[in-house]
Amino acid sequence: MKLYPLFADLAARSVLVVGGGAVGERKAAALLEAGASVVVGAISASPALRALAAAGRIVLREGHFEEHWLDEAWLVIAATGDTDLNRRIATLGEQRRLFVNVVDDAALSSFHVPAIVDRSPVTVAISSGGDAPVLARLLRERLETLLDPALGSLATLASRLRKRIREQLPDLRARRAYYERLFTGPVLQFLRRGQPALAEAEAEHVLATNATDVNGSVVLVGAGPGDPGLLTLRGLRALNEADVILHDRLVSPEVLALARRDAERIEVGKQAGNHHATQEHIHALMLEHAKAGRRVIRLKGGDPFVFGRGGEELEFLRAHGIAYEVVPGITAALACAAYAGIPLTHREHAQSVRFVTAHCRGSHDTLDWAALAQERQTLAVYMGVSELGVLQQQLLEHGRAAATPFALVENGSRREQRVVTGTLAHLAERAEAHQVRSPALLILGEVAALASSLAWFGEPPLEDAADSRRLHREPVRLRPLAGVTARRA
């Protein structure tokens, strides 16, 4: 090791910061969080440091650096921007056997300030030995996404129970098994939900009964439309905690690659005309693995509560006493529209948006076609590729204008994304001509015409020449915003 890692207890101990600029502010703020008694010395101090001094939170010494400032210090941070002064402070500190950090100068520093991931009382410190501080910050950012914010509360709870745990579980193996259940089971889930009383009650129950038949849990996670960058941080943490992942067919390989390497992956997705994985089978798998004490992730494309049967799965889990959570995902309508450059609402063209599913003929009789055919609204139609002809016919028969623009977004947000545009009169014809296949989302409404001018991701939209000429003759007119010129669609 180039550096020996230490965690210093600075509570009520004097730490000197030399320098009154922005860097000195940051260092003083971090030291205050650690409970240090902070003294800042500077020729000129920032307003923020003056405010801290006025509030009695720091001691401010204004003027040129003087050696006696070091007399009471345990640690010293030099943040002056003056190389000669920083070197002098480092030399004097060395003579007094004080640890000195010179900001952005590893050679002069006898201690380094690491990048910190704070889950107090759990703290992770990252150092590159001064060789690559940017890399250390990047690693901190990565760990911030992986470490649950509830870990601090979990550590505090474990600390309160520590004496009783040692008394009731003298056997080391039994104690380790208890801690594993404490740190990975329902207790953490209760803390994550903001229910500390339930978390403590669960921890006490397991300790009092020495329960070994603890059930696992299920987390419904929305995987988003395919781009792994759209997965939420909570979803990423869940994937890294999973023992078993029950995933749909349309969850992208890139999202699955983010999961824990040793997690068992089971594909349970259904496709049109191929329902080998029934909902009852999915329920049975969730119950089987949760009863075995495993952490199960039910990974769904998009959002689990938007045409994803998430409600049915929660009802099943609740009926069988299985703990569950829900992690929302970015649903296909939001992602496909955004990646195609289509605003779902627009004050000039659409004041509402409807999410519709049309994956089977039986659903046609239950849809309010007259309402769906109304103008000045956007339709986002899920799972409708095989029924585009029926959709087209019903909307036209119920009064939707034949010239209404549409966009079919295939594989939205993925590298292979395609956008096919046109008008309602040619919807089924255009889809067949370009062999549009699932997964694809239909966006119908005046806003869909904006795809031709606002598209930013992937290849340009595949436009119909006749429809394009018509749209240029009858452009979508945007009300100019301040300082912005409207663009013709």
Residues near 238 by Cβ (< 8 Å), separated by ≥ 6?
219, 221, 297, 325, 327
As a whole number of angstroms, the distance between CA 260 and CA 246 comes to 13
Question: Helix or strand or coil: residue 10?
Answer: coil
**Residue 177, SS3 per DSSP:** helix
Q: Which of 248, 303, 464, 467 is catalytic?
A: 248
Burial class (CB in 10 A: 0-12, 13-18, 19+), 147: middle
φ/ψ of 5, rounded to 5, equals -75, 135
Catalytic residue among 82, 105, 118, 270: 270
Told to judge if 84 belongs to the known catalytic residues of this protein, a careful annotator would answer no
Round to whole Å and give the CA distance between 221 and 239.
Answer: 9
Cis peptide before 121 (omega within 30 of 0): yes
Sequence-distant (≥ 6) Cβ neighbours of residue 286 within 8 angstroms: 218, 246, 296, 298, 313, 316, 317, 322
Q: Is 270 a catalytic residue?
A: yes
- 334 burial class (0-12, 13-18, 19+ CB within 10 angstroms)? buried
Whose tokens are 């659409």? That residue is: 350
Helix spans in 231-305 (H):
233-241, 253-256, 279-291
Main-chain dihedrals φ then ψ at residue 134, nearest 5 degrees:
-65, -40
The β-bridge partners of 115 are 126
Q: Calculate the CA 366 to chain-centre distance.
A: 36
Quick one: the chain helix, strand, coil %, rounded to 5?
40, 20, 40
Element (H, E) at 61: strand 59-62
Residues known to be catalytic: 248, 270
